[in-house]
Structure formats: structure tokens, C-alpha cells
């Protein structure tokens, strides 16, 4: 089985983020072939196309980390029935300058946790249309809407409910398979054919 480098973006900037706990759990439950690392966007200024001619170092570093990843996983809360503004700002940076869209042909998947029963479904639907515009092959299924009850996942990413752990393990295995299928159709980044 092939190793795959996956960068993950956590939509929340909160110190006690339940989506950060979820991300830690996903790192622990992923197939060993998946090498996961967080791509932070916390230091990005608000995007404007005035930057397009000369991106600041923090934005160059962000785009370089995206380029280095073979696939991207979004782990995001739902804020006001959409994705958090900070995450949308990061996506806008990633999509520019024109012709250098970091998401083009890059496999992505979306998962999220909220305290409400809807489990980020509306935010994910919104993010799906954004990623479609960004020309990313996006995993359609399995969908994963996690309602976070207190104690479901510890600060270290230990999932306390075995059925949830199994679901998340399966989700990551499915994402791995999806990435591999995408790269049977298009060249991997950094390969001579890319």
C-alpha cells in the first residue's frame, strides 16, 4: 500500500475546539499509510486581491504546505449554518493568485463535529459547493456528521464510544481508498508526470 501525505485544516481557532479533538482522533484511527499533519491558517491576514502580486511570507508558507500535501481533510465546525470565517478566508488565500489554485485536482474530504444534532451538515453542504468551484475531487461518501456529546473524545483524541471509533476508522479508510482512486486517474503531485 502506498503512503499518502494528508494535510488537515481545523475550521475552529478555539483553544477547546471539539473539532481539534476530532482531528486528533482521526490521526489516531487513520490507516498507517496516511501521514497526517495539520496545516494552520491562524496567522493569515484577511485576504484581498491586493496581495496577489506579492503574497506575504505567511501566505506563501500556507500555500507551500498545501502543495506538499497529496490530499486535504477539512475538520470543521458549523458557525451560523456555514463554515467559520477564518476557514473561508484560508480557502480564499489558497485559491489565489489566479492560475495557482492550491485545491485544483487535489482530493479532499470533509468531516465535522458540532454540539447540535445536525452535526455540521449545513456547513459541510456549503463547503462542498466552495470546493467544487475550487476544482477539487471531493469524497462524496461516506458523509460524517458528528454530534459531540461531552466526553465523546478526550483532549488526546481517544474516542470513548466504540461504535463512533469504528465509524471514524472506516471513514479514514474510505478516504484513503478515495485518494488512491483519484491518483489512478491523474498524476500524483511531485511526480514527473504532474
Minimum CB distance to ligand FNR smaller for 64 or for 115: 115
Query: What is the spatial distance between Cα 80 and Cα 65, in angstroms, rounded to a whole number?
Result: 29
- List interacting residues with ligand FNR (CB under 6 A): 12, 14, 17-19, 77-81, 114-116, 118
The least distance separating ligand FNR from the CB of residue 9, rounded to whole angstroms, comes to 12
> From the CB of 94, what's the least distance to ligand FNR, in Å?
20
Beta sheet of 4-10, edge-to-edge order: 34-38, 4-10, 71-75, 108-114, 145-147
Toward ligand FNR, which CB reaches closer, 113 or 179?
Answer: 113
80 Ramachandran zone, left/alpha/beta (phi>0; psi -120 to 50) = left
Q: How far is the CB of 36 from ligand FNR (least distance, A)?
A: 17
Cα separation, 153 vs 131, whole angstroms = 28
Write down the least CB distance from residue 126 to ligand FNR, Å: 10
CA dist., res. 18 & res. 10, Å (int):
10
Q: What's the burial of 90, exposed, middle or buried (CB within 10 Å: 0-12/13-18/19+)?
A: buried
Q: Which is nearer to ligand FNR, 81 or 149 (CB)?
A: 81
16 or 163: CB nearest ligand FNR: 16
CA angle 17, 147, 175 (to 5 degrees): 85
DSSP helix/strand/coil, 173: helix
Q: How far is the CB of 50 from ligand FNR (least distance, A)?
A: 28
Output 18 or 26, the one with its CB closest to ligand FNR. Answer: 18
Neighbours of 155 (CB within 10 A): 9
Amino acid at each position: 500500500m502506498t503512503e499518502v501525505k494528508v494535510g488537515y485544516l481545523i475550521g475552529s481557532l478555539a483553544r477547546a475546539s471539539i473539532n481539534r479533538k476530532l482531528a486528533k482522533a482521526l490521526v489516531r484511527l487513520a490507516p498507517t499509510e496516511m501521514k497526517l499533519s495539520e496545516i494552520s491558517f491562524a496567522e493569515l491576514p484577511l485576504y484581498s486581491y491586493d496581495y496577489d502580486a506579492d503574497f506575504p511570507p505567511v501566505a506563501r508558507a500556507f500555500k507551500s504546505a498545501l502543495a506538499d500535501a497529496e490530499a486535504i481533510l477539512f475538520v470543521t465546525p458549523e458557525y451560523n449554518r456555514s463554515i467559520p470565517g477564518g476557514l473561508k478566508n484560508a480557502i480564499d488565500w489558497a485559491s489565489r493568485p489566479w492560475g495557482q489554485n492550491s485545491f485544483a485536482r487535489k482530493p479532499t474530504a470533509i468531516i465535522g463535529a458540532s454540539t447540535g444534532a445536525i452535526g455540521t451538515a449545513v456547513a459541510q453542504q456549503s463547503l462542498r459547493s466552495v470546493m467544487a468551484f475550487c476544482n477539487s475531487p471531493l469524497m462524496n461518501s461516506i458523509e460524517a456528521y458528528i454530534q459531540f456529546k461531552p466526553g465523546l473524545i478526550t483532549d488526546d483524541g481517544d474516542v470513548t464510544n466504540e461504535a463512533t471509533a469504528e465509524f471514524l476508522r472506516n471513514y479514514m479508510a474510505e478516504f484513503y481508498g478515495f485518494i488512491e482512486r483519484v491518483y489512478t486517474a491523474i498524476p500524483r503531485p511531485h511526480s514527473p508526470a504532474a
